[in-house]
């Protein structure tokens, strides 16, 4: 029994020594690994490897950063160009509208379209005497009227003195009409020129050329609601661009029209 106890004690002692030895060896090996790692980390070869690694990774990072920056700059430039285009279109639209409004508005000092007063007619526009059917006829300047358009084109009319005319002609030839524009009245087209006219019984209106030839006869209308009747006057119609020629309460309505002129070649 004593021998067995001594043997066990010696065996335990040896096991402890072996365990302690293994621990020392393990610590030595760990220190060697750490030392090898530190030597590699700070060695020249490791510096080359680290430089190569950072160089490759740096290129990738640089490309990524430059690509992101390029996309950002492209988007920024695109937004600026887009805003500039929108602003330029807005400015162009405003300028176009302003220019169109300025064209539509008559310049300062230019007379507007409409009916002129009798004093303007008698002073500047209607001659004292006009030619009709081979004779000179005196115009009643106080019973005259004028319509002036924006381009300064005129329509002038006035009653005339017709003593000594033949009975049939004196009834028809009551006034003198001068027009610088083509017009439509009662469905008939009247070209620029000088004409004689008259309001006949039965609600008729006749237009004659300077030789007293009847060009056409249309119906006239009686205006019972006219506030103040005059021997002859122009009045603006209810529709834009239309005017009425009155003799008393009888009137005919006309409107300016633009006709194409066909020019024949000499050949």
In angstroms, rounded to a whole number, what is the distance separating the alpha carbons of residues 88 and 250? 57
Asked whether residue 68 is domain-assigned, the answer is: no
Are 119 and 248 within one domain? yes
Asked whether residue 50 is domain-assigned, the answer is: no
**Structural domain of 177:** 114-257
Are 18 and 126 within one domain? no
- Condensed to tens digits (0 to 9), the pLDDT of residues 30-79 reads 555 555 555 555 555 555 665 565 555 555 655 554 556 555 555 666 67
Asked whether residue 104 is domain-assigned, the answer is: no
Are 131 and 22 within one domain? no
- Condensed to tens digits (0 to 9), the pLDDT of residues 111-168 reads 678 998 666 666 567 788 899 988 888 999 889 999 999 999 999 999 998 777 777 7
Asked whether residue 125 is domain-assigned, the answer is: yes
The structure's pTM equals 0.57
Are 253 and 123 within one domain? yes
Q: Any idea which of 68-82, 180-194, 212-226 has the lowest mean pLDDT?
A: 68-82
Asked whether residue 195 is domain-assigned, the answer is: yes
User: Which burial class, exposed, middle or buried, applies to 160 when counting CB atoms under 10 A from its CB (0-12, 13-18, 19+)?
Assistant: buried
Are 253 and 142 within one domain? yes
Q: Phi, psi at residue 260, to the nearest 5°?
A: -75, 135
């Amino acid at each position: 029994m004593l021998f067995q106890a001594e043997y066990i004690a010696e065996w335990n002692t040896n096991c402890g020594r072996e365990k302690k030895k293994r621990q020392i060896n393990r610590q030595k090996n760990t220190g060697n690994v750490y030392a090898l790692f530190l030597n590699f980390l700070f060695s020249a070869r490791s510096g080359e490897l680290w430089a190569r690694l950072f160089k490759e990774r740096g290129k990738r990072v640089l490309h990524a950063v430059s690509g992101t920056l390029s996309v950002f700059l492209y988007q920024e430039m695109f937004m600026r160009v887009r805003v500039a285009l929108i602003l330029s279109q807005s400015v162009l639209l405003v300028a176009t509208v302003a220019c169109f409004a300025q064209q539509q508005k008559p310049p300062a000092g230019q007379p507007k379209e409409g009916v002129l007063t009798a004093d303007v007619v008698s002073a500047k526009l209607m001659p004292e005497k006009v030619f009709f059917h081979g004779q000179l006829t005196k115009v009643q300047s106080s019973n005259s009227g004028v319509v002036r358009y924006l381009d300064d084109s005129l329509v002038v009319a006035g009653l005339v003195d017709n003593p000594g005319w033949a009975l049939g002609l004196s009834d028809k030839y009551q006034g003198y009409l001068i027009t610088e524009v083509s017009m439509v009245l009662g469905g008939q087209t009247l070209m620029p020129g000088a004409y004689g006219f008259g309001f006949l019984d039965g609600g008729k209106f006749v237009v004659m050329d300077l030789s007293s030839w009847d060009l056409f006869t249309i119906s006239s209308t009686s205006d019972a609601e006219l506030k103040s009747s005059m021997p002859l006057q122009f009045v603006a119609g209810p529709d834009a661009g239309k005017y009425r020629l009155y003799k008393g309460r009888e009137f005919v309505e006309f409107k300016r029209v633009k006709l194409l002129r066909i020019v024949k070649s000499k050949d």
